[in-house]
Structure 1
Amino acid sequence: MPALRFALVLFAIAVTANADNFSARFDAVRSQATPEQLYALLYALPKGGDLHNHFGGANRSEWMWAILTDSARNGGDVFYARERFDAAPDAIAATARHHTIRAATYRALPPAQQREYVALTAMTSNERDAWLNAFRLEAPGEGRAVFFEDHWPRLGDINANPHVRFELLAENIKAFAAEGVRYLELQFGVRGMQHNDLSDLSDAEAVAMMEARLAQPDIVATGLELRFLEMILRFAPDAEQDLIDTYAWVDAHRDRWVGINMAGIEENGKGYPRRFLDTYRRLRAKYPTLPLAIHAGEMDSPDHNIRDTLLLGASRIGHGVNILGDEDTLLMLQHSDRTLIEVNLISNRLLEYVTDLDRHPFPELLRTGVPVCLNTDDRGMWDSNMTDEYYTAVTHFNLSWAELVQLGRNSLSHAFVEEPVKSHLLAAYDADIAAFETRFSRGTIADALAELEAVSPVTYGYGRRNWGFGFAE
């Protein structure tokens, strides 16, 4: 065994022993902590990676507003949203409200339609608040239909502006790093972006702009490791051709893009997994294989989509909320470490795939040997963060210290990042966990709780609405 690997094994053994020793301490701190103190403790917790994250839904409305209204950050563009209508309000489609476009798109509209759009910088305070709320699930009664049918169309051509896209990427990196995430695997692409005059930006130009932004000191200082997945919309009419084109593109950009994801509502009968089986097999005959992390089991009723997705070659399953209804596949997953299920508790609750979180399959998976980790999915549209996922898991399922540590290790062990970097991330995670244990082991339980006063948690609308937390944003 090489010396470095041997040293890492010894370190992991030592960390496991320390985790066992810290378990009782963690339980005691948690039992005496207020909800706010528990949240602060989990905010400080090292969290490994976020593996299931849609960039388009990851951006908080406030981040978008700040960038879209700042010419220094958006490349000198101007953005308009559809806010004023001649027709009666109840006759206006929800997808039309708050639809946001760039200046060149606005100039191409006929005058009558231009009058319906308002520059973001000219909005009233009420219009601004309505716009901010239009990109998140924050009102009673909103759910799956609003999310899939209204939120995404409203984004218009926001993400076609490369300056905006890369500034939003920077905001995500800094926010995740601040709460202890050290690896981020985003569903993120650079194809199809345009200059302010709507002329096409080449892929090479886009990648160069992105890498230049990632090399800036504010991003480098975070220490966060970043890789991307290209995403395919599974039910699109041309999804097979999109898969062929995407596979070739990712193969040519393996330094930053590490795999492929297929997403889309599974209720749509055109997105069933076996539709793509022949295409994947032909692609694997042509290219060295690419890792696959594919949405499956995000359904209200039992089906065999998870099993069929594994047949496509996926080694990570997104959501998997109906897995308990396919006992043969569950049994297989319980006896194999190859496949990880990417759990998204807040997403599953808000989209009503699991109306009662206490009945979520997460604890059954975790405690019967199926590799799982926690993820944020579309955290901007939930107005949440990674700590919210951990707080939800701890308070609903009484997670032990060893289980918390395992969640973080699972996220890194099943990351698609290249092996040398993965080894480094795992070693760094073990060191961070050891430092966390040392920090909160000193003195009495009261001393540990007092140490939390030095933690400055950040929470957003989800934490305020559901738990009443008043931490700063």
Structure 2
Amino acid sequence: MKILLSLATALMSVGLASTPLSVRAAEVSVTTPDEVFARVAHDPERLRIFMRNFPKGADLHNHLSGAIYAESMLDWAAKDGLCVSLKDSSVLAKSCPHPAPGQIAARDVSSSESIENQMIDALSMRDFVPTGNDRSGHDHFFATFGRFDALERDHQGDMLAEALDRAASDHITYVELMVSPGLGKMIAAGAHLPLSGDDFTKAHAALLPQIPALVQQARADTDQMEKQAQAVLKCNTAEAHPGCGVAVRYLFQTLRILPPGMVYAQLDAGYATVKADPRFVGVNIVAPEDDPISMRDYDLHMKMFRFLNGVYPGVNLSLHAGELTLGLVPTDGLRHHIRAAIEVAGAKRIGHGVDVASEDNTSDLLAEMARQHVMVEINLTSNDEILGVRGAAHPFSLYRRAGVPMAFSTDDEGVSRGDLTQEYLRAVQTYDLSYSELRQFSRTGLEYAFVPGESLWQDHQIGQTVEACHGIKPAIIPAEGPCASFLKSSEKARLQWSLEMRMLAFENSVTHEVLFQ
């Protein structure tokens, strides 16, 4: 990531230094950032402007396939000459010189307002209203992915470019995107593995000869994705998009709604990919947690992770766990998923964690998470849309009270029609957060990111810098000395220092901004 070199440059990065002079007073009374925030916190429009420009450390829970807006999907379908099914509102994986009955050429969708609206609503959560055939936000949300699946193979780079440009406009320093390159061959490799119960030794031995080729395919697909994205973003040119400046790494995501052998093969090859390619910093497991196969095999999957931790030591895990509610699954299904993800699989981060209050010995679990610094990726919008969990019913305040580290994330911002600013806004307006707390959440995202290197903060005590950088104000990058050497040695610390510079610039700007007086 391009590191800011001066406070003036940082002011430009937060978008306020370029505000026209006509909207600025000659002199503005200087206040603290906390006072400015308190002034705008209950003014929705000014709060949105404030939060849009607020520097956000990281988006750690972001599925690339779900990060794309429906309008982009339809544009790509039109350029590819594909057909659209009006019956099930999906993009079809075939060219469309002569549409069959019930179909339309994707290039013609925009010529009909009603059809275009139908497709956007079907490919996202926009204006979702339950019907007899589309009964829940949960079902509609997960159904969207199958409707645009035909576009994913050829547009991974376009998708990456869109996600990075949106992150830049959201003033995000770093993103960890969940992707699945080469997944089809990994699944196929697991079709006939000798897997008996939780004895994975034979399965690993049988798969081992295929691992190099599977990893090579994953790396080649990632190379192609990044090459395409860089071309779209015009990186390394005078016309480079802002997205070129966002740091990005990947979590290898695997599907858990398949037979055990196929799940195992994905995980084994996914671990191997992380070890072989530094662009990948961890592994996750995805698909609806309430799916019958997910529920039946949950404990088996956690044991797979435990086994592979021994085969490939040092691979980070961020696991979807506890994305469940009472009624969605039997009560017994709510009792241990988060705990198993931590204690059996060894997860360092938990995605969602919505059902924590239904886990056995919740108080002990929360204390363990706080003590072991297991961070929770909070996805307020998707938890509302998929599970109907919002406000006081969400465990956000429970985690907060227990001292469990948390950071806001988008989950599937394109499908949900949002961004990370929306998640911060929702948190402020729902949970009455202070500016100091917002700054802490922003820093927490980078603190628990899997980007390599030592942290700028001592022992997760965010705000207490390591000895090498103690007492140095992050207005510029130090050119020499112990702090300069430390930052040079750690990518994570450099990103954290960059965030501190941007935060300082932002705070200097908003405290002098007429709009916030």
Task: Give the TM-score, by structure 1 length.
Answer: 0.77
State the partner residue of 1:210.
225
Cα distance in 2, alignment partners of residues 239 and 203 from structure 1? 16
Unaligned runs of 5+ in 2: 1-30, 131-135, 186-215, 327-333, 454-489
Q: Of 55, 72, 76, which aligns to 2:64?
A: 55
Contact residue 57 and residue 174 of structure 2 kept, 8 A: yes
- State yes or no: 1:383 paired with 2:401: no
State the partner residue of 1:240.
264
Cα distance in 2, alignment partners of residues 318 and 187 from structure 1? 12
State the partner residue of 2:19.
none
Give the residue type in structure 1 aligned to 2:358: G
Q: Of 320, 345, 353, which aligns to 1:312?
A: 345
Cα distance in 1, alignment partners of residues 340 and 115 from structure 2? 46
Q: Of 307, 320, 323, which aligns to 1:295?
A: 320
State the partner residue of 1:228.
250
- State yes or no: 1:127 paired with 2:115: yes
Contact residue 57 and residue 381 of structure 1 kept, 8 A: yes
Cα distance in 2, alignment partners of residues 220 and 288 from structure 1? 36
- Correspondence 1:139-288 to 2 at 5 A: 139-141=128-130, 142-148=136-142, 150-161=143-154, 164-191=155-182, 203=218, 205-215=220-230, 216-217=234-235, 218-219=240-241, 222-237=244-259, 238-253=262-277, 255-272=278-295, 273-288=298-313
Cα distance in 1, alignment partners of residues 184 and 169 from structure 2? 29
The alignment-based identity, stated in percent, is 28
- State yes or no: 1:349 paired with 2:384: yes
State the partner residue of 1:456.
none
State the partner residue of 2:487.
none
Contact residue 22 and residue 401 of structure 1 kept, 8 A: no
Cα distance in 1, alignment partners of residues 184 and 172 from structure 2? 28
CA change 1:213–1:306 in 2 (3 A) is: same
Q: Of 70, 79, 83, which aligns to 2:82?
A: 79
State the partner residue of 1:434.
504
CA change 1:220–1:439 in 2 (3 A) is: closer
CA change 1:35–1:281 in 2 (3 A) is: closer
Contact residue 190 and residue 207 of structure 1 kept, 8 A: yes
For 2:245, what is the secondary structure of its paired residue?
A: coil
State the partner residue of 1:73.
none
Cα distance in 1, alignment partners of residues 123 and 65 from structure 2? 11
Cα distance in 1, alignment partners of residues 516 and 292 from structure 2? 52
Cα distance in 1, alignment partners of residues 437 and 177 from structure 2? 24
Give the residue type in structure 2 aligned to 1:63: S
Cα distance in 2, alignment partners of residues 224 and 30 from structure 1? 28
Give the residue type in structure 2 aligned to 1:243: L
For 1:51, what is the secondary structure of its paired residue?
A: strand
CA change 1:234–1:221 in 2 (3 A) is: closer
Task: Give the TM-score, by structure 2 length.
Answer: 0.71
Cα distance in 1, alignment partners of residues 306 and 426 from structure 2? 39
Cα distance in 1, alignment partners of residues 286 and 222 from structure 2? 23
For 1:129, what is the secondary structure of its paired residue?
A: helix
C-alpha deviation, 1:240, in angstroms: 1.9
Q: Of 85, 88, 104, which aligns to 1:118?
A: 104
Contact residue 46 and residue 433 of structure 1 kept, 8 A: yes
State the partner residue of 1:360.
394
Cα distance in 1, alignment partners of residues 123 and 35 from structure 2? 41
